[in-house]
Amino acid sequence: MVLTKASSLELEVTYSDFISILLTVVTIVLTLASLGLGYLAFRSLKELKDESRVAVRKEIQRYRTEMELEIANFKRQVWGGDREYRDLERNFDPASEEER
């Protein structure tokens, strides 16, 4: 087909051509939307992991401090403050009825 200045180009679009173009556009839009949602989900997952890591570290530190206080209180109550464990075992006789 040779085009000249006087000729006009007529484009005939049938119903099936229109539907094909429409479905292609819808597919492209859905693909772009799913890629965007996937990116947001991946980024949110990374932030969620970082936040949970910080929260776990804080909770571990709180628990550790609490346990250190419990141990110090236990030592104070059972061993009378500065006494060491070996001092308790030095003259320990399990058959003895005297006060320990």
CA torsion angle 63 66 71 73 (round to 10) = -170
Q: In the predicted model, is pLDDT for residue 6 greater than 80? A: no
Give the pLDDT confidence score for residue 49 in this predicted structure.
Answer: 87
CA 95 to chain centroid? 56
Give the pLDDT confidence score for residue 22 in this predicted structure.
Answer: 94
pLDDT in tens, 38-89: 988 888 888 888 889 999 999 999 999 999 998 888 877 776 655 556 566 6
Model-level pTM? 0.41
pLDDT in tens, 23-32: 999 999 999 9
